[in-house]
Amino acid sequence: MSEIKIDADAAREALKKLSPRLGLIIPGIIVLAGAFTSYFTVPTDSVAVVLRFGDTQRIAKPGLNFKWPFWFETKEIVPVDRLLKMEFGYGTKDAKNPFQHRPQEYYEEQSMITGDKNAAAVEWVIQYRISDPEAYLFKVRDPEETMRDAAESVMREVVGDRTVDEVITIGRESIATDALVKLQELVVEYKLGLKIESLQLKNVNPPREVQASFNEVNQAQQDKTKQINVAEGLYNKAIPKGKGEADQKISAAEGEKLQRVNEATGDAERFLALFEEYQKAPEITRQRLYLEKIKDVLPRLKNKFIMDGEASKPLPLLDLNNALNGKGGSR
């Protein structure tokens, strides 16, 4: 191996020549580094928490921002306007959020015990946002892991208060509502800096051994609901129609009632007027009434005969038919 010999005098001479240049290069490098580390860009869906020696100084908005260079001030980007989600018991492929699901824990997350000691496989999803960037960064070490554990605990509590029929069929909406309220209370209590936007149950199934039976029950429940809806539709259609017909008949009866009352009133008034005339001249009034009635009755008779009480057979003395018709004549 060959030895490398360094001439000390030559080295000292070279350093003397570089010394003036180093005095300019080093400050220049420091200035450039400071310039590059004094500005930063915040994405449109995020804010930046600017720290000075670990203490929060301000919240930087989206766009170009400036800070003290080097380690004097640092920044933490927080996506406050991004809608994030967590999936329990299942997972979406190519998820960008590292806290979105835990593939190795699908079975444990979805396996739950109901209030009547039955088993159910429950899958659900949570959508949330970061509402307080400073609390999100500094109040709890792992806020999303903490919320995930709290969400699983809350769901087990809510499912454990209901029967298996409620969990699988009719109680899904109330379960999601109660779990959302309880989970948001815990998130606020723990100061995680997060806000739950929605909680939705996905697939809720019974154990595989009784899957077919539960499907039949579910179908029967749907058929029942359909029949009820059909019956209510017919009811809502028939009731207005029946009410309209009833109102029509009542109106007709009222009209007939009014007509009969008016007719009876008119007859009574005519009778009173006639009775008054009768009191003034009974015989004349009786004779007039008799003649008016004969005039009304005779035209309705086809054959008319005048009988003599002492004769043995009818005497066709007068053709009353033609006489009443204005023709006159005798037989």
User: What pLDDT was estimated at residue 1?
Assistant: 45
For the chain, list residues with pLDDT below 50: 1-2, 317, 328-331
Q: Report the C-alpha gap between 49 and 66 in whole angstroms.
A: 12
pTM of the model: 0.54
| Burial (0-12, 13-18, 19+ Cβ within 10 Å), 218 | middle
User: What pLDDT was estimated at residue 326?
Assistant: 56
DSSP-derived letter for residue 37 is T
Q: Are 135 and 198 in contact (CB under 8 A)?
A: no
Superfamily of domain 84-206 in CATH is Band 7 domain (3.30.479.30)
Helix (H) or strand (E) holding 75: strand 73-78
pLDDT tens by residue, 31-90:
555 556 677 788 888 888 888 877 778 888 888 877 767 667 788 888 988 899 999 988
Q: Are 43 and 77 in contact (CB under 8 A)?
A: yes
Domain regions of the chain by residue span: 31-79, 84-206, 282-324
Q: Are 110 and 88 in contact (CB under 8 A)?
A: yes
